[in-house]
Structure 1
Amino acid sequence: MEKVLVFGGTRFFGNKLVERLINSGCDVTIATRGKTQDSFGGKVKRVQLDRSVDDSRWDEISSVQWDAVYDNICYNQNDAEIAVTRLGKNVVKFIFTSTLSVYGISETAQVEDDFSPMHYTLPEKDKELDYGEGKRAAEAYFFQKSGWDVSAVRFPIVLGLDDYTKRLHFHIEKVSKEQDIGFPNIEASMGFVSSDEAADALFFLKDQPGLGPINICSEGHLTLKQLMNHIENATNKTAKITSDVTEENHSPFGVSGSWYMDPSKAKAAGFHLRKLESWLFPLIDQLAGQYSKAH
């Protein structure tokens, strides 16, 4: 029975990943701060710790030999260093949840070589970094310092009914209420991935050799204008789009230019990608229906 450790497995695609690991017969331990209840009952072991604090709460997991470790909640080099120091040589395979944010805005699809963690100069310890730079530094630390078999899974924005950040919900509510939504560039193209697809990809990588950086996203992309057109159809309302962006109306998808990835490496590895429109448009319809019934 494979022993698997999951940092952050109680919400969203992390929760779905743990379900898949349990169903496959893995011996699963989840490590979180214990602030979010889970529904796994006695099917998992639990360790309560703060991922960003190196203290005695790590002792329970630091001496265990792990067949696979998933890290969904590492955001910077300091967090990465704690894991590498504490887990040492007791990791066979390490799967790190990274992000599209390691790339910049581009009118062409980003490929893995557009950011190389092996050629990244690590910043000074404890230096404050924004989200994208923090993930770059974390990737670099794992690849340069751990000696583990690492895959860094670069996801775009993850969407689903269970998205606790409610980014897609924001747009449906604003359109339904006929309120302004601010977009710096409504013609920008974006890619997305569903929470189920994200969980499937993480589970898939457990049984693969370390693939290094790997883009995981649905196949295809669309402009923000196309996205809003479908929300208009689903809500029977006209979206009030403005380029006068404020803190209140700023779309969570509001980017200055196109931002999407090429998932060819994942396809070549044998991972089945979903067509973006096959799940995104039905999700919008479902959320719009739920909002209409509630209001």
Structure 2
Amino acid sequence: MADICVIGGTRYFGRKLVRRLLDDGHRVTLVNRGRTPDPFGSEVDRRVADATDPDALAAAAGASRFDAVIHQMCYTPRDAVAVCEAFGDRAGKLVLTSTLEVYNKDTFRWEIPAPAFSPFASEGELDPAAYRFDLDLPWHDPAFLGANYGEGKRQTEAAVVERAESPVAVARVAHVLDAREDFTGRVQFHVDSIREGREIHAHPSPGRTSIVSTTEAAAALAWLATSEATGVVNVAAPDPIDVYGVCAAFEHALGRKAIITERPEPSGERLSPYSCPADFGMNVDTAAELGFEFTPTADWLPDLAREAAKEA
């Protein structure tokens, strides 16, 4: 049994992460703003703090020691420095939730050259320890942060690796799908479009991308928190998929054909979020080598599509 602190943990795969940890017998402390209800009742300890406020986060951490701290709400290098200072060496491991978007060559800013990423990038192609971060950029501005999400996550990784006083694991998570808690609206977009006979736009000869279910993303984070694994680990199903493959699952569930139209300049409103101009995803060999095997898309996407069709 481990003592684990989860920063966030009230929605999407964060909620499934907490449920997984509790079911595995671990003690869980939640740190968040206390604005979103959670279903865990007396099963968890709760501490209220805005993770972007260093003083509040430090007060919430107090003198407590945890076997692992999992930060699900870390978007800027300032947030990264705050969590490192708040917990110091009282975290046995610091686990950061990051994103596939760090490999997006189109999101590099300020004349930072993008590496020549492979179509399905491996972790070593972007080393957080070799990346620089800038605490003076206007990360407090929501518009700036929204326009620089990928860059914010790259700098967040770099800051955590440099400032943490404990071992670090960075989970770079692929596009996450869930049938019920469709936080992104991506699943609902496909269900509604197919059911209502609306066009789904795609890039010409669309590439494949990496996806993962909320259940598996949660399982991977729980494993990172409780295993000896450290460093950067890609979190995704082993078999990338294109927009046609995604739509096929929903077509079968709904009993209707998708109207997919390839366009040189696809409309943003109708563009499938799983259509890429070229292959863009992640290699997951590292996770397998460390002992975590992801479930192939074909083994879970059809069930998710059926559930989503019923929920809609």
TM-score where L is the length of structure 2 = 0.87
Structure 1 segments, 4+ long, off by >4 Å, are none
Q: In the alignment, what sits opposite 2:231?
A: 212
Q: In the alignment, what sits opposite 2:281?
A: 260
More deviation in 232-241 or 188-197? 232-241
Code of the aligned partner of 1:222: I
Q: Aligned partners of 2:29 and 2:273: how far apart in 1?
A: 33
User: How has the CA–CA distance of structure 1 residues 134 and 185 changed in structure 2, closer, same or farther, with 3 Å as cutoff?
Assistant: farther
Q: In the alignment, what sits opposite 1:111?
A: 122
Match of 1:182 among 201, 205, 208: 201
User: How has the CA–CA distance of structure 1 residues 203 and 57 changed in structure 2, closer, same or farther, with 3 Å as cutoff?
Assistant: closer
Q: Shift of residue 108 of structure 1?
A: 2.8
Q: Aligned partners of 2:277 and 2:118: how far apart in 1?
A: 11
Q: Aligned partners of 2:252 and 2:91: how far apart in 1?
A: 49
Code of the aligned partner of 1:219: P
Q: Shift of residue 68 of structure 1?
A: 0.6
User: How has the CA–CA distance of structure 1 residues 21 and 236 changed in structure 2, closer, same or farther, with 3 Å as cutoff?
Assistant: closer
More deviation in 105-114 or 153-162? 105-114
Q: Give the secondary structure class of the aligned counterpart of 1:273.
A: coil
Would you say how many aligned residue pairs link Structure 1 and Structure 2?
A: 291
Q: In the alignment, what sits opposite 1:97?
A: 97
Q: Shift of residue 83 of structure 1?
A: 0.9
Structure 1 stretches of 5 or more lacking a match?
Answer: none
Q: Aligned partners of 1:45 and 1:257: how far apart in 2?
A: 45
Is residue 2:82 matched to residue 1:82?
A: yes
Code of the aligned partner of 1:264: D
Determine if contact 1:5/1:28 at 8 Å carries over to the other structure.
Answer: yes
- 1:240-251 to 2 correspondence within 5 Å? 240-242=259-261, 243=263, 244-251=265-272
Q: Shift of residue 220 of structure 1?
A: 0.8
- 1:40-189 to 2 correspondence within 5 Å? 40-56=40-56, 58-104=58-104, 108-127=119-138, 128-129=144-145, 130-161=148-179, 162-185=181-204, 187-189=206-208
Structure 2 stretches of 5 or more lacking a match?
Answer: 106-116, 139-143
Identity rate, percent: 31
1:95-154 residue CA offsets vs partner (Å, 9 max, x unmatched): 111111110266632100111101101124234451111111111111112132000001
Q: Give the secondary structure class of the aligned counterpart of 1:142.
A: helix
Q: In the alignment, what sits opposite 2:248?
A: 229
Tell me how large the CA RMSD over aligned residues is. 1.9
Q: Give the secondary structure class of the aligned counterpart of 2:304.
A: helix
Q: Aligned partners of 1:90 and 1:126: how far apart in 2?
A: 29
